[in-house]
Amino acid sequence: MSALSNSRFLKMNGLGNEITVLDLRGSPHRVSAAEARAIAADPRSRFDQLMVLHDPVTPGTDAYMRIYNTDGSESGACGNGTRCVAWAMTADPVMRRAGDGDLVLETKAGLLPVERMSDRVFTVDMGPPRLEWNEIPLRDPVADTRAITLDTHLPEAPELRNPSAVSMGNPHVVFWVSDATAYDLAAIGPVLEHDPALPERGNISFAQVTSPEHILLRVWERGAGATRACGSAACAALVAAARKGLTGRKAVVSLPGGDLVIEWRASDGHVLMTGPTELEHEGILSPALFAGAA
């Protein structure tokens, strides 16, 4: 029987980005890729990202998070999921942490301080963007990641050339388009996600800058597919747009699920993401889910 059998979970969302939160603090168990896929396969616990809480690693932090995509792969960042975890750790009667003060979460990519702005709205300090080719990572050295070249050539879509690349703790490629809704994400997304120039695959965004304070964004997520919102992609798009002089350092990023406010803070270069969370229901993971999942 899996150590996860009968574990309580929260099904949440951040702007429609489907998030399941599982609390393994106090347990040595590490969710396997097969277990993550099994949890995603059940409609009650279905997720774009599974956020798993573990005991803190760095002194002064509240929890260490592992982040799983629908396909079982792991990521270093999930903006919408981080806000959901912040809600769970401050408001859920079971997952609520002891004590008050600033909430600081940690992933394999670094520390994420979180501020509660209102009942369900949180600002996450997503840290500084990583902009060097080997930090993203890209296969080939490039001096300026504001305009990169992928191997994929789409002659039917001449706009899809020279995207920007940014890491927010996970790899993002941002294409600059005149109409963010014009592309068939389900057809193009998987091809671009797996482009050989992206050794760890990529989260793929189509960004339409409508003013210096506003970006329309659609995202094909690595390991999860088309989602209604992606917080780290919104951060990556704002950083890339500001670097290209298309926007200022603060903008509203509109996704199919709603709006995020993103600021690339001048004082320390950190990216702040503000947006809502929603609790849908709680549940218990059935032992039957894990039959055959190692």
Ligand X SMILES: N[C@@H](CCC[C@H](N)C(=O)O)C(=O)O
Enumerate the active-site residues.
Answer: 78, 230
Classify residue 269 by its DSSP letter.
-
Count of C-beta atoms within a 10 Å radius of residue 225 = 17
Query: Does the footprint of ligand X cover residue 254 (CB under 6 A)?
Result: no
Verify binding: residue 13, ligand X, rule CB under 6 A. Answer: no
260 counts as binding ligand X under rule CB under 6 A: no
**CB half-sphere exposure, 258, CA atoms < 13 A:** 13
**Residue 231 makes contact with ligand X by CB under 6 A:** yes
Structure-block tokens of residue 51: 């956020």
Query: Residues touching ligand X: how many (CB under 6 A)?
Result: 20
Which residue of 49, 107, 123, 254 would you call a contact of ligand X, by CB under 6 A?
Answer: 49
CB of 184 to ligand X, least distance (A): 19
Alpha helix positions (H), the chain: 33-41, 79-91, 185-193, 231-243
Q: How far apart are CA 282 and CA 114, in angstroms?
A: 23
The distance of closest approach from Cβ of residue 242 to ligand X in the complex, given in angstroms and rounded to an integer, is 18
For position 230 contacting ligand X by CB under 6 A, the verdict is yes
The answer to whether residue 224 forms part of the interface with ligand X (CB under 6 A) is yes
Going by DSSP bridges, is the β-strand pair 110-116/103-107 parallel, antiparallel, or unpaired?
antiparallel
Q: Is 17 annotated as a binding residue?
A: yes
CB 7 within 8 A of CB 39: no
Residues contacting residue 66 through CB under 8 Å, at least 6 positions apart: 30, 31, 51, 52, 54, 74, 107, 108
Going by the DSSP 8-state scheme, the letter that residue 170 receives in this structure is S
| Nearer residue to ligand X within complex by CB, 14 or 160 | 14
Backbone angle region of 169, left / alpha / beta, with phi > 0 → left and psi within -120 to 50 → alpha: left
Q: In angstroms, give the least distance from the CB of 286 to ligand X.
A: 25
Q: Report 72-91 residues binding ligand X (CB under 6 A).
A: 75, 77-81
Q: Is residue 222 involved in binding ligand X (CB under 6 A)?
A: yes
| Of 2, 13, 20, 69, the one binding ligand X by CB under 6 A | 69
By beta-carbon proximity to ligand X, the closer residue of 2 and 251 is 251
- Regarding 20 and contact with ligand X (CB under 6 A), the answer is no
Site for ligand X (CB under 6 A): which residue of 45, 164, 208, 232? 232
**Phi, psi (deg, nearest 5) at residue 20:** -110, 135
Phi, psi values for residue 94, rounded to 5°: -90, -45
How many CB atoms are located within 10 Å of the residue 18 CB? 25
In angstroms, rounded to a whole number, what is the distance separating the alpha carbons of residues 193 and 213?
28
Rg over alpha carbons for the chain, rounded to the nearest Å, is 18
> Using the rule CB under 6 A, which residue among 129, 223, 257, 275 binds ligand X?
223
* Token reading at 287: 């032992």
| Of 114-122, 151-159, 176-184, 219-227: span binding ligand X (CB under 6 A) | 219-227
Piece in contact with ligand X (CB under 6 A), picked from 39-47, 145-153, 180-188, 230-238: 230-238
Contacting positions for ligand X (CB under 6 A): 17, 48-49, 69, 75, 77-81, 170, 203, 221-224, 227, 230-232
Binding site per annotation, positions for substrate: 17, 49, 69, 79-80, 170, 203, 221-222, 231-232
Binding residues: 17, 49, 69, 79-80, 170, 203, 221-222, 231-232
